Amino acid sequence: MYGGAGCPAIAEFAPAEFGALLGTSAGSAAAYIGQALALRHRLPRIWATVLAGEATPWKACKVATACLELSEEAAAIVDENVCGLLDTITPIRLGKIVTAARYQADQDAARSAAERKARERGVYVGRVDDHGTKSVWILAATGDVLRFDATIDALAEALKTLGDPDPLRLRRARALGILADPAHAQAILNAGRTGIVGQAAPADPTVAASVPASGRAASGHPTGSQGGVGEPGLGGVDAARADRPRLELVPPDLAPPPSVGPDAVEAGAVEAGAAVGASAASEAEVEPWDTSADPEQTPVDSGSPTRQFVNGDLAQLDGVAGSRTSRTMVYVHLTDHTLATGSGVARVEGCGPLLAAQLTELIGHRPYSVRPVIDLNDKISVDSYEIPRRLREQLKLIHPVEQFPYGTAETTLATDLDHVQPYDPNGPPGQTSTTSLIPLRRFSHRVKTHGQWTVDRATDGALEWTSPHGFTFQVDHTGTHRRPGLPSGTDPRPG
């Protein structure tokens, strides 16, 4: 049946002729027919927005395809939740919302899909190249990967503290080898924390995991908990992540070995796990100009005095064990009903939507601490130009995504925070506040500062952006809305 349950039957060979007339294959024509039928009969609200010219057809088709396996009742839930969002947010954010709506509509199907994906997990070692470099491909539970990544970051920072002059990416690669000996890795972490080679650090077994904040009215999302990933005990990892190059596509040499095959493991499509080395289909859409280079790009020769000195310290640490020092912070957004019943859909920052039952696997069973609830309606302000951490965290939760028109980058503690109106050193107190600051990725920040864009905050809290040629956009918790009409000064008459 084309289009899913509830769609009328279509003659078996109809797509062949239809495809020939369109100049495409019968398979492509069949998919096109299925999308049209699904929109007309299963997603009537979305279909109405397309007919009214309020939604882009190809985006509606993608929603229809994503819902093919849902029942009519479940598809109706997605239709209701998504119909007003198709052209107000980017395709990546739309995909996440559709996924969350699908999970909410049919939790049994979502649970079964997660279990199928979980069976694809594994660790695969690729072939060595001609220069002694080997690749590793990992598909594992999201929580395990987050903790692994935080530990790699912590080891890289410890190596830097101990004098390793290599760039961050090389220190992270070296950390992978250090992890092969857990006792040696622990000794390096302790030494990096104390700055003393051979001395163990005090115990700190805490793994922090947050719970929901009491409200998210300002953002339009369900009640949220503190968000963001990675706060190792060594500190400074948020900054390290900001500097770390982000690989958005899997390099060919990182593909799973032939015994697994592309059909068995679909790179970048793991919903219940995560891939190390490949943040596929990243919501941040990192651009080349957003990637800060490591301050020291040139590796240091292995025979240099600095390298020999560091190697000597690391050799002393071999075999010196201590206590666990790394910590991971996880931000989870969920409603009070989901928290009370353990049933429903949660949004985990940096991961996307998950079933509530998957949070146990995400957080794990090690010791963890719960952070105090943050009331997002609280107004925080300071007199200084500098932004304290508590204000950063509040803004991060109020605005989970950057506030530039059609912005895609998720807000982190390392995201730029810009004053809507320029800060005046001689102005009144309280100029730095939750209402005067907005999160922007670095490129968007530069566009606002140097690209002749202007922004003002409306009385309802929305942002009114104006482009250099006078086009205006409103950005609020529902997304971006293009203001109707021609830009000021434009003559609509021809010639």
Compute the distance between CA of residue 246 and CA of residue 293 in angstroms, rounded to an integer: 11
Calculate helix-pair angle for 91-105, 72-82, nearest 10 degrees: 140
Q: Is the pLDDT of residue 254 over 60?
A: no
Q: Report which of residues 314 and 248 the model is more confident about.
A: 314
Residue whose token pair is 């503690």: 413
259 confidence band (pLDDT: 50, 70, 90): very low
Compute the distance between CA of residue 452 and CA of residue 148 in angstroms, rounded to an integer: 43
C-alpha closest to that of 74 among 112, 42, 32 = 42
Across residues 324-351, what is the average pLDDT? Answer: 78
Phi, psi (rounded to 5 degrees) for 466: -130, 125
Largest CA distance in the chain: 81
Q: Is 319 left (phi over 0), alpha (psi -120 to 50) or beta?
A: left
Question: What is the residue-wise DSSP string for 259-290?
Answer: TTHHHHS-TT--SSEEETT--TT-TT---GGG
210 confidence band (pLDDT: 50, 70, 90): very low
Neighbouring C-alpha atoms within 13 Å toward the C-beta of 452? 5
- pLDDT, residue 25, reads 78
Query: What pLDDT digit, counting tens, does each position of 402-431 carry?
Result: 999 988 888 988 899 999 989 999 889 999
Assign 119 to helix, strand or coil: coil
Compute the distance between CA of residue 121 and CA of residue 264 in angstroms, rounded to an integer: 10
Choice among 111-115, 124-128, 436-440 with the minimum mean pLDDT:
124-128
Please check whether residue 86 is in contact with residue 101, taking contact to mean a CB–CB distance below 8 angstroms: no
330 confidence band (pLDDT: 50, 70, 90): confident
Buried b (16+ CB within 10 A) or exposed e, 381-414: eeeeeeeeeebbbbbbbbbbbbbbbbbbbbbbbb
Residue whose token pair is 């606002």: 448
433 confidence band (pLDDT: 50, 70, 90): very high
Compute the distance between CA of residue 70 and CA of residue 335 in angstroms, rounded to an integer: 23
Compute the distance between CA of residue 43 and CA of residue 76 in angstroms, rounded to an integer: 6
Choice among 288-297, 365-374, 418-427, 479-488 with the minimum mean pLDDT:
288-297
Please check whether residue 367 is in contact with residue 207, taking contact to mean a CB–CB distance below 8 angstroms: yes
Compute the distance between CA of residue 39 and CA of residue 104 in angstroms, rounded to an integer: 20
- pLDDT, residue 250, reads 38
Q: Is the pLDDT of residue 349 over 70?
A: yes
Q: Which two tokens stand for residue 104?
A: 């909410």
Compute the distance between CA of residue 246 and CA of residue 241 in angstroms, rounded to an integer: 9
Calculate helix-pair angle for 182-194, 142-161, nearest 10 degrees: 50
- pLDDT, residue 51, reads 94
